[in-house]
Amino acid sequence: MLVDPAGHWWESVSRTRTEAQQRNLTWARFKKEVMGKYFPQALRDQKETEFLQLKQGKMTLVDYERKFEQLSRYAAHLVNTEQKKARRFELGLRPEIGGIITSHEFTTYSQVLQRAQAIANQLELDQTTQESNEFSGKRKWNGANEGKGNGQNKRASFKRRLESNKLNSVLTPCPKCNKAHRGECLYGKNVCYRCGKQGHIATNCQEPPPKRDNDQSKKGPARVFALTQQEATEN
């Protein structure tokens, strides 16, 4: 009847009995000894407590039902009628499902299970629809911003190209040093490129930077205009 380790254990137990005890061994006694060996009372109490604390939580309804049926065997006295089993199953359901079922007062376990599955399907459908609507609205909002952002980037890029072209049109490369600069080219004269003096280079130059030609040109017309205005006043 028993095989492998269980068979070896039962043979060892049987050798300790007398012939009379072996003949008087009943099925109930046999089950009690096997249960005591492989399913002691401490483990049965633990499984019963686990059944009493069972909640659906994040489990799907199918997984919760499977766990409920598995653990209910260890607390048969709590689910020995249809009404008891139905109420115990309701207690572990998520509030959004159990709250609806409790108001209907079903009397059988199958009725509770069918109604719970219908509610779970509807909640899942509603959640899927809501997520789809949120995703659709987010894409529309991003699309509008993408067009706006692209337009701004294009305008900024066009502006930079205009400024670059304008600068290139003002400063042309020097034929001597092949660099764009203003004023006389000092390449090859062994002088400081900053102040024009010998004995050091621009990196070590202590002289104040010379005024640019464009600064002089800006001040020139203003002075001429002032003189011309004064002369006009005197005249």
Dihedral pair phi/psi, residue 180, rounded to 5°:
-85, 115
Residues 94 and 124: their CA atoms lie apart, in Å, by 13
10 Cβ neighbours under 8 A, 6+ residues apart: 1, 2, 34
* pLDDT tens string 161-182: 666 555 554 556 777 777 766 7
Cβ–Cβ under 8 Å, residues 101 and 119: yes
Give the single-character DSSP code of 94. Answer: -
Residues of the chain with pLDDT under 70: 1, 136-154, 158-159, 161-172, 180-181, 209-235
Structural domains counted in the chain: 2
Please state the separation of Cα 206 from the chain's center in Å: 58
- 187 and 120 co-located in one domain: no
**162 lies in some domain:** no
Global pTM? 0.48
**118 lies in some domain:** yes
**119 lies in some domain:** yes
**65 lies in some domain:** yes
Dihedral pair phi/psi, residue 173, rounded to 5°:
-60, 140
- 119 and 188 co-located in one domain: no
Whole-angstrom CA distances from 194 to 136, 175, 199, 214, 225 are: 62, 20, 12, 16, 31
- Token reading at 39: 């399913």
The residue written with tokens 């290139």 in the block is: 168
Q: Which of 66, 44, 45, 64 is nearest to 55 (CA)?
A: 64
Last residue of a domain, one of 90, 108, 125: 125
**168 lies in some domain:** no
**226 lies in some domain:** no
pLDDT at 66: 94
Q: Which of 87, 78, 84, 79 is nearest to 105 (CA)?
A: 87
Domain that holds residue 82: 39-125
pLDDT at 137: 66
Dihedral pair phi/psi, residue 153, rounded to 5°:
-65, -40
Residues 230 and 235: their CA atoms lie apart, in Å, by 8
Q: Which of 29, 43, 41, 28 is nearest to 13 (CA)?
A: 29
**73 lies in some domain:** yes
**25 lies in some domain:** no
Residues 107 and 90: their CA atoms lie apart, in Å, by 11
Q: What angle do CA 158, 167, 161 make, to 5 degrees?
A: 10
- 52 and 121 co-located in one domain: yes
Residues 196 and 175: their CA atoms lie apart, in Å, by 19
pLDDT at 232: 47
